[in-house]
Amino acid sequence: MAVSIAKNNPSASWHARLELEFQQQKQRTVIHRKKHTGPLLVQKPFYPEGRVCHLYIIHPPGGVVGGDSLELDISIGRDSHTLITTPSAGKFYRSDGRIASQTQHIRLHENAVLEWFPQENIYFNQSNVKQRTRIELSPSSRFIGWDIICLGRRAANESYTQGQLTQSLELVCNNKPLLIERSDLAAGDPALTALWGFQNFPVSGTFIACPVDKGILDKVRDLAETEGLFSATLMGNNLLCRYLGNEAEIARKKFIQVWNLVRPALLKRKTCEPRIWQT
């Protein structure tokens, strides 16, 4: 059941912030510093492939309501390699009119690697959400990541007939913009139904990897067709893939296929799926 908080009870809102700093120590990446306020936590890191730090970010309340704010600040130190995911989908519940906000600021230092694979965000009908993600690269760093969103609850046959979602994605290197995207989606917006937009698909996804070359792009484009719509292109040396469809699980499976191609070429490692994805 969707949760809402009384409009006259702002003190019930959650304000959570998590700061993480990773460093390379003794042949593996470790959490050098962590600080949190409110319900935004991490589990003990896992090392299923040696030096690479696998980490799960947890939001114990299980969902976000109007008035809540989540802030994530991540620094990936020199030569560090971190894979970050979440144990379940993010849920943004219907709002009483207040905005739920999520801000993510990620910095990669020299020769750092981040694989950023949060599970999908589900935006309930009547939610009101503002999100911003900023990823700052260094010239020698490498990044692979995705973002998957679902408008309405497919499992409950709920459509997105009321609500507002404002998103911002910034990918920069030495303060030079590589990708700047902003979207302001409201229920009933023509972009949700138009052929040039979402075409009535409730699920959309973006996959980014950099730096890659045209050889990788060609291999990604040769992947078997999947349910829904999928495209891949290069913007400079940044691979940008898009997905539109009806199921977040299909989007995730498609992006894992892309990851299976990109990771060996970019990082010289076979893929190692976080074990939480199997539960």
Q: Report pLDDT digits (tens) over 189-209.
A: 998 999 998 999 999 999 999
Residue with tokens 């139904």: 193
pLDDT of 154 above 90: no
Q: Give the model's pLDDT for residue 5.
A: 35
Q: Give the model's pLDDT for residue 110.
A: 98
pLDDT of 76 above 60: yes
| Portion of the chain with pLDDT greater than 90, in percent | 84
CB 163, CB 186: distance < 8 Å: yes
| Cα–Cα dist 15/151, whole Å | 24
Start-to-end Cα distance in the chain: 23
pLDDT of 74 above 70: yes
- How many angstroms from the chain centroid is the CA of residue 212? 20
| Cα–Cα dist 167/106, whole Å | 16
| Cα–Cα dist 266/82, whole Å | 14
Strand partners, 34: 20
pLDDT of 51 above 70: yes
Which has the higher per-residue pLDDT, 5 or 231? 231
pLDDT of 186 above 60: yes
| Cα–Cα dist 264/142, whole Å | 13
Q: Report pLDDT digits (tens) over 1-21.
A: 333 333 345 447 889 999 999
Entry field: residues in the chain? 279
Q: Report pLDDT digits (tens) over 239-254.
A: 999 999 999 999 999 9
**Domain segments of the chain: what residues?**
32-278
Which has the higher per-residue pLDDT, 62 or 34? 34
Mean pLDDT over the full length of the chain = 92
| Cα–Cα dist 202/224, whole Å | 22
Both tokens assigned to 52: 């690479």
| Cα–Cα dist 147/132, whole Å | 12
| Portion of the chain with pLDDT greater than 70, in percent | 96
Q: Give the model's pLDDT for residue 103.
A: 98
Q: Report pLDDT digits (tens) over 87-135.
A: 999 999 999 999 999 999 999 999 999 999 999 999 999 999 999 999 9
